[in-house]
Structure 1
Amino acid sequence: MRTAAWHARIVCGRDIGAGFLVTERHVLTCAHVVAGADREKVSVSFAHAHAHAHTQEPARRHAYEREHEHEHEYEHARPAGTPAAIPARVIAHGGWNGHDADPGDLAVLELDRPVPYRPARFADPADAYGDPPRRLVTYGFPKHYDEGTLAEYRATTDQLIAGEWVQLEAWAPYGQSLVPGFSGAAVTLADSGRVVGMVSSAARDPGVRNGRMLPAHVMARYWPPLGDLVPTPGYDEQQKRRLRLLVEETARSGPPDCDPGRLYQEAVGLLGPLPPPHGFVSLWDAAWYLLSEVRDEEAVARFAARLAEYADAPTRAALRSWPRPPAPHGDRRDTAPGTGEASLRAPGARPWSPILVELTPSGCGTDGSGREMVLAEVSAYIGRHRRVVGSRRLPADRVRPYVLERIDEAYHELEPRARELIAFVLPRRWLNLDVAHWQRSADDDSPLGAFAPLVVMDLERRRSGGLQHKLQQKWQHLDGRPSARLHRIGCAGTGQDPKKLTVGLRRAADMVGFGFPPRADGTRRLFGAGLNAPVPVMLWPRSGCRGPSHEDCRGSAFLDRLAEHLADLPPSELPAYVHELRETAYASESAEPHWADDLALLWEDPRCLPDPVGYQHSPVG
């Protein structure tokens, strides 16, 4: 038996049980162990943490020990000679109602801080059973065994009792039995130490040496993120996580008549396995049952395709394509024949490799001409490292050729498979600069925006620590969503109060579409309101309407097009979609300009464009 550091001792008031670490901050245990968590403090300690300290990264371990060496808050819960206990709180509950036969006897504890111990690893649930039986080991903390002790058991059969438990019986007629203090302990394979379930109860008669185990795949019904970690046939952790997020998004936004039982039946067919006696309490419950307990690996893909009919775009397309990997950059599949509009890719594409162009006003020239000077700096990002390709203070009329040459040089810094993104950082008064139409080079007069994905960003906002922090929070929120909310501001809305608009956008918008460009003072103030919100994505036409009435004006038509083609797409992929729209617009032979011909995109994700302090004021890092 491997005495792993992830074995946990749980204390809740006078109740003591066991648990096990599944992430650096989350511990699983039985709900009945922490039943008094609403009135008692909960603490967690790791009995073998010191014994396994050599397996952790030294720098991380030492930093952790220095940070917490003076803590004494939970010393009363710690037996002498054991590691210090860590405060924890219950963040998820399986719905256990307080009786022995109640289902859902699972609780998820979130530690007060991450711990530097390697979490438990899960075995395939089927590995718990076999002929001859597999020897199973569990590590609990019964009375007088504060340091813990072992018990050896085996699973009687893989048949679930009441759709919830597996019966355990003693491996031998002697040795430690399951007694109070083992509740919540991980049940592990003796040969590998991998987890197959959790002890949930024992026989009341001391002479009967059996108990019950909540199998890992049943625990994942009650805490969906656990499904990412429990092996299932045919699908890996990333595919399951992606499906879970898509199902959760559909559950939030889909119609109430989306019945998980009916979708399950359609996925397995009339002759497929019956649903569990308890039915399904959620869409994810049905999806997880297909993943973990139905042997037809294609059934869950059929479930996803059927569920797509109830989802919004692009969740719909992502569900229909699951579990296929995302299309590579440049793939035009799913483009409607003859339309040339942007194709709908599944989420999860390769990260961007930005080429950053920063243009900063730098006063007037010293030659007496009074020409405005600009500090032009072009850099390439290799991961999080930024390499300056060129930096020069130039008259404004010489910036374009210099920048275009440096952009071409910056491509030499990128890896062959890099997914390029050209990002212009501009002063707020230059945001409408037509950089997407710049001629790519002296030998190629096609627009730069048709050569690669191109976005603009606001110089003032990029240099604000507070706004960058808020942008990162916004992207963390958007990462869990396959689409973003578009807030429309049409030509008739130019009289809005910018202060009130900023406050409103902070709460209710992920993207803002303007029906007009930032030219006049009033419209520039509205753009500033969006930048201060901060909204990570802003779109607008570089030229505005000229009519006295704004009913069915050019700005309104532009916003309608945004809603039709871009509003429901994953915001992280908007640069690619807009690039494809620009390609279509620039190649159009129609007498009428394409609606996206002068489309401007402000897009900013600080995580892929970190700004090292050394570069903020100096052209050399």
Structure 2
Amino acid sequence: MTGLRGAEWHARVECGGTVCGAGFLVTGNTVLTCAHVVDNGDLGPVTVTFPQRPGEPPVTARVVADGGWDVGHGTDFGDLAVLELDRDMPITPAVLAPADTAHSDRELFAYGFPTGHTGFGTQAALHAVGPMLVGGEWIELEARSAHGQPLARGFSGGAVTFVDTGEVVGMVTAAAGANSVHTGRMMPTHVMARYWPALSALVPVRDGWHGRHGRGMARAGAAYVAGAPTWDLGRAPGRNFGGAPDSPAPIHLPGHPDGPRLRALVEKAARARLDCDPVRLYTAAAGPFDPLPPPEGFGSLWSAAWFVLCEVDDPDTVSRFADRLDGLLTAPPVAETGAILVELGHSGAGDDLVRVEVSAYSGGRRHPVPAETIPRARLKACVQDRIEDAFCHLTPGADELIAFVLPRDWLDWPVDRWEKGPDDDTPLGCVHPVVVTDHARRRSSTRHVLTSAWQHLDTRDGTRVRRVACSGTEDPKQLWLALVQSEAGLTGFAATPRSSRTRPHFETSLTAPAPVMVWSRRGCDPDRADCAGAADCPGTAFLDALDKLASGVPPARLPRRVLGLRQLAVADDGHWARDIQLLWDDPRRFTDPHATAVHTRSPVA
């Protein structure tokens, strides 16, 4: 029983002078309790008293973090509150037991303040019931004797400890509520650390501990908020606790050879304020049999690291996760991106007139260039002028992109071969990455689907080509099903869009929608009806070369890679990419949070 002597860290929590529950001191000025205990804050100020130090005056406290518990939504998850005292206490804080030891059959006890014992409190002798973590959150407790003190109102927030060592294994969160039932629940310390990451510095980990201990280890408290920093290790649901992001609390990760390395990388990422999505990082590292990330995502890199170490059985995933994080930290800074959108369309005022609208996208803003309706004879000259005007809005040296938005019947136009300027006949596509996209993809729902597809494509180092042979024998409905259900992000065509044999497949790929489509403007002869796609067919040779290209180039880098191929093809009329047409449609390159009503109807807005 020596572990119980001098346990002055046990605390009584009051709201407005009314005893509401218990708590325990974990640092000189930090007390942990249940969120529902301090939900009575409207009764008055929250104060904390340490009954094992008679005569010690109450200390004012404030809630600085919580686990997201919300009784209004009918859930008991995240019932944790972190109290910061207004002064340090001259008390040795509680010692926490190693993670995942609470399921043992060792004798436990809890200290609380039920009715009749609100002064100095009382104790309840307990033991853990079964090996299961209920709801991924709690361990069930049962009184060791039917004649002893059961868990009751007033024990909530109290520490559950080993009798022989006094180490804290969890916190009481609920009692059965019936006098004849001597059971309750506690939240073990490693689950508490899930909600308040700073506690991980105090929870020891047994050597070699690895594997799934409560499915959902990183579920609660891990909601991803778009646009919010995702690497703040001191961040917890509800309130934010702790110091500056560049000085995170140490993290103790379960036993794995790469555990110390991963911890150092996580801390380095926090200091560097690395901007990256932990879900995408995990997805890229996960193996085919690893669990999916939580539906809510990860609220921090810390949560993702715990998930990988505690919920994934394959130890190689830990190493891959650490390797990818290391790669992000050592990668050169990503260049700023800019884009120019050239929208060409039928004017409606005559077959010879074309509507030209050009916009530059830079720094998250759209900068429109005055639109004009012109005769086709002046089209190239007008586009040259408008592109030059648009470049004035791009950051010098930014990774630029020029996208032509065309009606469907113009998608085969060789816009990449248009001269760069009136005094420079260099093909535009040999100077800048040039792509095309389709006016018909202007609906918001289509942009949503494409954005989701690109988020998945971003995790790949290359992509698989869905080949459409010049024979056109595949059922277009099967092609559509393959595009929407498979991981193929690129459709390659052996024939041109003019071919009647593959035109239905082309239309299907546009509407699926396929994020990337590639063909050659001089592919298999569209008028040749007997081509079976043999090795000597130019369309087959084109697809073979495209397969090699796509397998080694991330989809996001295809426009820049095709630029290099077009430059090589200038001096080689027989080069396979001389007349390559790239339909590349990533809506994220054309975003404007201050879009006007006119802009929201833009096909790539």
Q: TM > 0.5 between the two?
A: yes
Q: Which residue of 1 aligns with 2:580?
A: 599
The root-mean-square deviation of aligned C-alpha atoms, in Å, is 5.2
Confirm or deny: 8 A CA contact 1:374 1:396 kept in the other structure: yes
Say which SS state the counterpart of residue 519 (structure 1) adopts: coil
How far residue 98 of structure 1 moved from its aligned partner, in angstroms, is 7.2
Superimposed CA distance per residue, residues 458-491 of structure 1 (whole angstroms, 9 cap, x where no aligned partner): 0011x22222222122123223333333200111
Q: Which residue of 1 aligns with 2:419?
A: 439
Question: Using a 3 Å threshold, how does the CA distance of structure 1 residues 617 and 470 change in structure 2: closer, same or farther?
Answer: closer
How far residue 427 of structure 1 moved from its aligned partner, in angstroms, is 0.5
Superimposed CA distance per residue, residues 386-423 of structure 1 (whole angstroms, 9 cap, x where no aligned partner): 11012111112212111111111111111224221111
Superimposed CA distance per residue, residues 286-317 of structure 1 (whole angstroms, 9 cap, x where no aligned partner): 557xx6xxxxxxxxxxxx5xxxxxxxxxxxxx
How far residue 504 of structure 1 moved from its aligned partner, in angstroms, is 2.9
CA distance in 1, matches of 2:362, 2:331: 23
User: For 1:248, which of 280, 286, 307 is the aligned residue?
Assistant: 286
CA distance in 2, matches of 1:47, 1:219: 34
Matched, 1:382 2:362: yes
User: For 2:344, which of 350, 355, 359 is the aligned residue?
Assistant: 359
How far residue 183 of structure 1 moved from its aligned partner, in angstroms, is 3.0
Question: Using a 3 Å threshold, how does the CA distance of structure 1 residues 99 and 151 change in structure 2: closer, same or farther?
Answer: closer
How far residue 355 of structure 1 moved from its aligned partner, in angstroms, is 0.6
Question: Using a 3 Å threshold, how does the CA distance of structure 1 residues 240 and 387 change in structure 2: closer, same or farther?
Answer: closer
Say which SS state the counterpart of residue 188 (structure 2) adopts: coil
CA distance in 2, matches of 1:457, 1:379: 15
Confirm or deny: 8 A CA contact 1:96 1:106 kept in the other structure: no
User: For 1:396, which of 376, 380, 384 is the aligned residue?
Assistant: 376
CA distance in 2, matches of 1:77, 1:439: 63
Question: Using a 3 Å threshold, how does the CA distance of structure 1 residues 545 and 522 change in structure 2: closer, same or farther?
Answer: closer
Q: Which residue of 1 aligns with 2:567?
A: 583
CA distance in 2, matches of 1:75, 1:324: 38
Superimposed CA distance per residue, residues 424-454 of structure 1 (whole angstroms, 9 cap, x where no aligned partner): 1111111111011111011221111111111
Q: Which residue of 1 aligns with 2:554?
A: 570
CA distance in 1, matches of 2:503, 2:40: 58
CA distance in 1, matches of 2:36, 2:509: 47
Q: Which residue of 2 aligns with 1:425?
A: 405
Letter in 2 for 1:74: G
Confirm or deny: 8 A CA contact 2:169 2:189 kept in the other structure: no
User: For 1:506, which of 484, 500, 517 is the aligned residue?
Assistant: 484
1:272-311 to 2 correspondences below 5 Å: 281-286=314-319
Question: Using a 3 Å threshold, how does the CA distance of structure 1 residues 527 and 326 change in structure 2: closer, same or farther?
Answer: farther
Question: Using a 3 Å threshold, how does the CA distance of structure 1 residues 148 and 530 change in structure 2: closer, same or farther?
Answer: same
How far residue 233 of structure 1 moved from its aligned partner, in angstroms, is 2.5
Question: Using a 3 Å threshold, how does the CA distance of structure 1 residues 372 and 284 change in structure 2: closer, same or farther?
Answer: same
Question: Using a 3 Å threshold, how does the CA distance of structure 1 residues 224 and 48 change in structure 2: closer, same or farther?
Answer: closer
Q: Which runs of 5+ in 2 are unaligned?
A: 1-22, 25-33, 47-60, 83-98, 107-129, 138-150, 174-185, 223-229, 234-250, 252-261, 291-308
CA distance in 1, matches of 2:320, 2:403: 40
CA distance in 1, matches of 2:467, 2:541: 12
CA distance in 2, matches of 1:435, 1:534: 22
Confirm or deny: 8 A CA contact 2:102 2:169 kept in the other structure: no
User: For 2:431, which of 432, 444, 451 is the aligned residue?
Assistant: 451
Say which SS state the counterpart of residue 574 (structure 2) adopts: coil
Confirm or deny: 8 A CA contact 2:156 2:171 kept in the other structure: no
Question: Using a 3 Å threshold, how does the CA distance of structure 1 residues 168 and 503 change in structure 2: closer, same or farther?
Answer: farther
Letter in 1 for 2:574: P
Letter in 2 for 1:502: W
Question: Using a 3 Å threshold, how does the CA distance of structure 1 residues 571 and 75 change in structure 2: closer, same or farther?
Answer: closer
Confirm or deny: 8 A CA contact 1:489 1:515 kept in the other structure: yes
Confirm or deny: 8 A CA contact 2:419 2:428 kept in the other structure: yes
Question: Using a 3 Å threshold, how does the CA distance of structure 1 residues 193 and 395 change in structure 2: closer, same or farther?
Answer: closer
Confirm or deny: 8 A CA contact 1:188 1:195 kept in the other structure: yes
CA distance in 2, matches of 1:577, 1:448: 15
How far residue 562 of structure 1 moved from its aligned partner, in angstroms, is 0.7
CA distance in 1, matches of 2:524, 2:78: 72
Letter in 2 for 1:551: A
The structure number with the bigger radius of gyration is 2
Letter in 2 for 1:356: L
Q: Which runs of 5+ in 1 are unaligned?
A: 1-16, 19-42, 57-63, 83-93, 110-141, 154-166, 200-211, 253-275, 292-303, 305-317, 329-348, 366-370
Question: Using a 3 Å threshold, how does the CA distance of structure 1 residues 498 and 467 change in structure 2: closer, same or farther?
Answer: same
Q: Which residue of 2 aligns with 1:608?
A: 589
User: For 1:233, which of 264, 274, 280 is the aligned residue?
Assistant: 264
Superimposed CA distance per residue, residues 538-577 of structure 1 (whole angstroms, 9 cap, x where no aligned partner): 1111112236533011000000001112234221221122
Confirm or deny: 8 A CA contact 2:169 2:188 kept in the other structure: no
1:308-323 to 2 correspondences below 5 Å: 322=327
Confirm or deny: 8 A CA contact 1:513 1:538 kept in the other structure: yes
1:83-98 to 2 correspondences below 5 Å: none
Question: Using a 3 Å threshold, how does the CA distance of structure 1 residues 322 and 147 change in structure 2: closer, same or farther?
Answer: same
- TM-score w.r.t. the length of structure 2 is 0.55
Confirm or deny: 8 A CA contact 2:490 2:515 kept in the other structure: yes
Q: Which residue of 2 aligns with 1:515?
A: 494
Question: Using a 3 Å threshold, how does the CA distance of structure 1 residues 152 and 513 change in structure 2: closer, same or farther?
Answer: same
1:412-561 to 2 correspondences below 5 Å: 412-461=392-441, 463-492=442-471, 494-508=472-486, 509-546=488-525, 548-549=530-531, 550-552=533-535, 553-561=537-545
Percent identity at matched positions?
30
CA distance in 1, matches of 2:152, 2:340: 63
